[in-house]
Every structure is written in C-alpha cells, then in structure tokens.
Amino acid sequence: MAYEIDGKVIEHDEEGYLTDIAQWSEPLGGVIATKEGLAMTPEHWEVVNFLREYYAEYQIAPAIRVLTKALTKRMGAEKASNKYLYDLFPYGPAKQACKIAGLPKPTGCV
Amino acid sequence: MADFVPPPLWPEIGLEPVPSPEDGLMAACRPFVAAPAHNQALGFPGELVEDWETRAVARLGELLAGNRALRVYLDACVGCGACADKCHFFLGTGDANNMPVARQNLLRAVYCRHFTPAGRLLGPLAGAGRLDRARLDSWYGYFHQCSQCRRCSVFCPMGIDTAELSMAAREIMNSIGLGQKYCNEIIGKVYAIGNNLGLPPPALADTLEGLEEDVRDESGHDVRFPLDVRGAEVLLVTPSADFFAEPHVDGLIGYAKVFHQAGLSWTLSSYASEAANFGLFIGSVEQMRKIALRIRAAALDLGVKRIVFGECGHAWRVAHAFLEELAGPFDFLDPRYPRPQHIAEITADLIRTGGIRLDPDANAGMVVTLHDSCNVARASRMGDEPGGQFTLPREIVRAAVPRFVEMHPDTTHDRTFCCGGGGGLLTDDLIELRIKGARPRMQALKQVVEQDGVTHLCALCAICKSQFTKVLPAYGFDREMMVSLHQLVGQAIRLGTSSL
C-alpha cells in the first residue's frame, strides 16, 4: 500500500492515510487528491494548508468550527459553512482533507 | 472512497417488508484488523497466536465461569425465531447470519462443542462445532455486524441479550490477538492522550476558547467553557466528538448555556476528556475499568461534587449501570447527587422548576422528531420515574421547538432502531454495512418527513449524530437535518436575568 511520486514509494495505511506524516509534500497531496477523485483548486489548498498549520501547532486537525472560522477570517463570510467544506471535500472535510494534507485520520465518534 | 448507494426506500407508508434471508450476502464485510501496536497498547497479543483455538476455548471457559448470564444466554435459546426480523442489520442486508439467532449460534456452536455434554457426545447433531479458521472468520465478520443495540433482546421470550454474546466473542478474539482496528486504536488514544479523538490538552483549551468567543459574539453573553478548574461543582464528561464534529459542538454550546444560566459552576477535564468507553464494545471489563478510572481520578483531582455526562449513548449506559462497580465508591460526591447524572436530567429539571426558560420561537420553522439512542433507551434510565429516558428528552424537545412529531411506534422507545453505527462500527471500512443498517430508521424518518413535514432529526448520542450525518444523504435527506438535543436547548434558552 503506497503512493508513487517521482519514482519514490511512500507508504500509506489501508485507507490511504500516510504511515509517516513527515513524508508529505505538496505534489504528494496532489497525488492523494487525484486518488480521491478530487481536482485541487486554490480553495482546496487553502483548507489543506490551514489543516497543516493547525496540526503543526496542536498535533491534531482543527474542529470543523475552528476551520470554518479561520476560512471566514481569511477568505470571507461565504466560506463560513459546513456545506461549503462538504462541497470541496464530499467524503467529509475532516477525514478527506486530512488524508490529502498527509495528516492522521481523526478517530472516535466523528 | 465511493459510498455505497442503497436502493430507494419503500414507497409505501409504514415499515418495509422483511427480506428473505440469504446466506453469505455480507460475508466479505469485515472491518480492518488491528495492527500489533494497537493490540499491544491494550495488553492483547499483537497478532493471532499460534495456538489460537485452544486459547480461545480456554478464554470462553473463563468468561463462562465469571458471567453466569453468558451461560444462560447460550443455553436458553429455543429457536423460536422471534428475534429473526428485529435486527436492523438483517432488515438492511438480508444476510441470514444477521438474524440474531444465527449470530448467536456462531458462538453457541463452540460453547456446545466444549462445554455441554450433548455437544461433546453428539457434535454437529447437537449444533456443536469447532472454532476452525472458517468459523473464526465468521466470528470476525458477523460479530462486527452487530451494534450491540439489544433491540432483539426486547422481543426474545427468553430474554437473551445478543450484545453480551457479541461482546464475549470480541473479547475472546482480542485475547488471541485478533482485534478490530477502529476500537483498539481508539482505546489506545484514550490511554495515551485522554480521548478517542486524540485531542491534546492545548488543542482542547484552544477549541474551548474559540467557543467562548463564538458564543459571546452570537449572544452577547459571557458563557464560559471551563477546563481543569479545581473546586468546580460539576465535572462534565462528554464525548470528544463534542469538541470536534457538527452538530455535536452545538450540543456542547447548549450544555454550557444551561450551566451558565442555572449558575452552576462546572468544568471539563483534560485528563478525562472522553465520556465514551469503547471497553464496553470489545467486551473487556479490564479496559472499561481503566477508562472509567480516569473519570474518578479527574473528579478527585478537581474536587468536584457532581459528575454529569454529556450526550453519549453507551457512555450513559456505562455511567448509569457500571460506573460504581468499575470505579467506585463515589462517596466523595455530594450526597444529594451520589450517582453520575445525565445532562438531560439537569436540563429537564431546570425547565420544570423554572430555573431556565426556553423560547420555542427561537427555533421557528423546525418540526423535530427524536431518535431514541439504543443504549439510552434499552440500557439506562433518567430521572426518578420509569421510562424517564424516553420522557425527559421529549420534554426538552417539546419545550425547545414549536412542533414535535413521533416516528412509528415500532421504531421508538425501547423498540428504537439502532442508527447503524453503534457498538464500535462507526468506521469508514464498514460504510456499506452502516448505510444498509440505517435503512429501517431512514424508512421511519421518511414517513414523518412526508406525512408531518419533519425538518430535523434529533439525537443525544455522538455516534448517532455522526452516523446520521454520514448516511442521511445516501437516502436523499439533507445532512443538516441532524441536530443535537442540547443544540435545540442552546438555540432556545433565554440568557441573562432580564428575560426571566
């Protein structure tokens, strides 16, 4: 179970989350997104980049509410909804965006 | 990862016809197996041990010796079939092994072979069978297609509790190194970090600070979300999903507003930042105890006088039925509140006594129906009256919204259908099962949406909320229909003194 990029093999778990999150790169994020059937736009990257910034500080992905609030501050009120995030990441913003961002899957009753 | 798309719901009013059972329809459906590190963090063997059959039978013997109910459940089935069409997973999949009696028989055969004279003498003629590799595979598949919701046990004339058998089977599988990734990874996170989500204390503090800002901006009131405050009256223990997911967070905001308006000092704990206790799902008393003891430690450390549980179905079962035995005595609590309370008990009491006031107009346009969560409905109680676990949440909904509608009586109260994600199955690798298992509930929902104009589905369990948010769209409903019980309260509550 691995992604291939520039001749390098990068392992992932059964669901496509990276085994070693340090191996993430932006091009790899693009490869994961393609496997998820998503074409990345600047709006997708805005979310992915915020997730990575938050993770670097707190070792966890942000709550959906924290994410929508941050996007509102950066990109305007029309980004302030759960629906907007689901439109970008149909499988669920927390899980699918984390996978593309190379972060661990949020677990529990979520 | 594409979602499974179910066939359209039955167009008629009422429940769907019962499917004809077929063998093996869901035989390939099985959750990811836990990695060695996940198992070892819980003290289980990392991988399937070599002499697994011998050790599994020995473990079954130990469980029988320690749990008389288990032997009664294994002995008592008369094969009457009353349970056969009561399981949402059977109704949703049509797989014969998802009839509760068939699921029980997967374990009963092994019990019969090794622990009954008839089974030892007559073997297969008495329904006995070895735990060979094929049977072990069936155990792993079908005991992870049981959400331990106990609906079948309501209809069983012998009172057999299939959940107990499914828990025993999972405990045996863990003891031989065959754990389920979802549950075991999560329990490991509770031990390492304090909650199922893996939310470290600084992130929790940041999240709560953000909620204080949001509520201040939205309501103009300084509603606090205290963390690790020594000397608070109440320790609130809530599922970590309440810090993370939608609409769970809106429920947490509701609890905070209730405490605020009632003038009750409260705190969350970063050490016991999880109400859920997945030790129940894997049938391990030892894991349940370890998780429950964190709550005791936090309560003692913070010097609280009351313990209150947020909206989590199985956590309330553990709190209501087992906490004293697992982590008691709680003799340090206020003698007026010697047992853990449910947040709904507090809110309902405050509504009755006028301690808080709700304005249903704040939820104008909402027509709400309530999904009774299985562990609340069939394994607990609220308040002082029999059936309080049904009446109290309804009292709260009625006080908070303009119109409340009941779903079909065969699908509510103690006959409620599981959401399809309970019992440790709320994982993406079981999404097809989850969508199929939600079907009976979705059918009942469709009826009240079409007949009564229901706009929202309310629940008081983190698993139910996440499961429905995920599966509602598969049946053509809007995921934003899903609301938390205390979300309705939070939206309707009048804050401040001037409104009283």
CATH number, position A27: 3.30.1420
In a domain, B247, yes or no: yes
In a domain, B203, yes or no: yes
Co-location of A75 and A47 in the same domain? yes
Q: Give, for all 110 residues of chain A, the pLDDT tens digit.
A: 899 999 999 999 999 999 999 999 999 999 999 999 999 999 999 999 999 999 999 999 999 899 998 888 887 777 778 888 999 999 988 899 999 999 999 999 99
- Quick one: tokens of B233? 């009256």
Co-location of A30 and A56 in the same domain? no
In a domain, B215, yes or no: yes
Low-confidence ranges of chain B (pLDDT < 70): 1-2, 498-500
In a domain, B385, yes or no: yes
Q: Does B426 touch chain A (CB under 8 A)?
A: yes
In a domain, B184, yes or no: no
Contact B127, B133 (CB under 8 A): no
In a domain, A49, yes or no: yes
In a domain, A107, yes or no: no
Co-location of B137 and B203 in the same domain? no
Q: Does B470 touch chain A (CB under 8 A)?
A: yes
Residue of B nearest to A94 (CA): B245
In a domain, A52, yes or no: yes
Co-location of A46 and A26 in the same domain? no
**pTM over 0.90, yes/no:** yes
Which candidate in A58, A86, A109, A110 is best for mutational testing of the B interface (most B CBs within 10 A)?
Answer: A109
Co-location of B165 and B200 in the same domain? no
Co-location of B235 and B290 in the same domain? yes
- Min CA distance, A96 vs chain B (Å)? 9
- Min CA distance, A15 vs chain B (Å)? 8
- Given A36, A108, A109, A110, the catalytic residue: A109
Co-location of A29 and A70 in the same domain? no
Co-location of B221 and B314 in the same domain? yes
Report the domain count for chain B.
2
Domain end position, chosen among B148, B176, B204: B176
Report the domain count for chain A.
2
Residue of B nearest to A54 (CA): B203
Question: What is the Cα–Cα distance from B102 to B405, expressed in whole angstroms?
Answer: 35
Q: Say yes or no for a CB contact (<8 Å) between B426 and A83.
A: no
Q: Does B160 touch chain A (CB under 8 A)?
A: no
- Residue B1: its pLDDT value, please? 46
Indicate if A98 belongs to the active site: no
Domain end position, chosen among B145, B176, B207: B176
- CATH code: domain of residue A76: 1.10.10.370
Range of the domain at A20: 2-35
Co-location of B315 and B440 in the same domain? yes
Co-location of A51 and A83 in the same domain? yes
Range of the domain at B362: 193-492
Q: What is the interface size between A and B, counted as CB pairs within 8 Å?
A: 95
Q: Does B292 touch chain A (CB under 8 A)?
A: no
Q: Beta strands A8-11 and A2-5: pairing type?
A: antiparallel
Co-location of B142 and B271 in the same domain? no
Co-location of B162 and B233 in the same domain? no
Q: Does B240 touch chain A (CB under 8 A)?
A: yes
